[in-house]
Amino acid sequence: MTDHGHDNLTILDHPLIQDKMARLRDESTSHEDFRRLIGQVAGLMTFQASRDLPIVSSTVRTPLEEVEATRLSAPVTLVPILRAGLGMVEGIIALMPEANVGHIGLYRDESTLEPVTYYCKLPAMIAEGPVFLVDPMLATGGSAIAATEVLQTHGCRDIRLICLVAAPEGVRAMAEAHPGVRIFVAALDRELNDVGFIVPGLGDAGDRIFGTR
């Protein structure tokens, strides 16, 4: 969580996260191991990103007596950006099995280069609590910005973006478009190359998750 000059960004530098990130970056990592590792990293990151979820006091009865307890006060929704975001879902659901799950699908129009929403299915109560928007890579920021706008049209206000790797260009674009969205990443990489890939990055996350490279 070192100083990086981006007010909207938190870099999660926990040793367990960074160890798994090293293996995710390795080009020799198999598709099977990549899928397993990306879920593990997503779960660890969500644990950090959920530290300030809204809570409420309650009372429960143990086998011995009543005791004051704390519960989440609002439903949490997980929204992966298709398709690569799906690779992060299992690890997060293992941590929060009670979370609702929605999906947003986007593609880039070849003529305008703008993201276009082709699929959107969200829980009815999504605006009632925090939303974790997940995508392994934050490159130009176009998909994350568009997905955030979709969520906002459904009334969402507490939106947290979780990505494994980000480029400074994407972080800046999100800050300009949606300054209230907090971004959590495992790594802030150097830059985008001339074809829009994050470098050093970890390659095409979707291809590596689904074995299509």
CATH code at 45?
Answer: 3.40.50.2020
Whole-model pTM: value is 0.91
Does any domain span residue 91? yes
Question: Each residue of 83-112: pLDDT tens digit?
Answer: 899 999 999 999 999 999 999 999 877 677
Does any domain span residue 1? no
Does any domain span residue 3? no
Does any domain span residue 57? yes
In this model, does residue 2 exceed pLDDT 90?
Answer: no
170 close to 158: Cβ distance less than 8 angstroms: no
**Catalytic residue list contains 108:** yes
For 5, the 3-state DSSP assignment is: coil
Choosing from 2, 112, 153, 194, the catalytic residue is 112
For residue 85, how many C-alpha atoms fall within 13 Å in the half-sphere facing its CB?
22
Q: What is the DSSP string of 31-95?
A: HHHHHHHHHHHHHHHHHHHTTT--EEEEEEE-SS-EEEEEEESS--EEEEEETGGGGGHHHHHHH
Question: Each residue of 16-70: pLDDT tens digit?
Answer: 999 999 999 999 999 999 999 999 999 999 999 999 999 999 999 999 999 999 9
Does any domain span residue 71? yes
Does any domain span residue 103? yes
Instruction: Count the domains in the chain.
Output: 1
Q: Which domain holds residue 142?
A: 9-210
160 close to 99: Cβ distance less than 8 angstroms: no
**Catalytic residue list contains 33:** no
Longest Cα pair distance anywhere in the chain, in angstroms?
Answer: 67
Does any domain span residue 114? yes
Q: Which tokens is 68 given?
A: 């004051």
Choosing from 25, 108, 117, 172, the catalytic residue is 108
Does any domain span residue 2? no
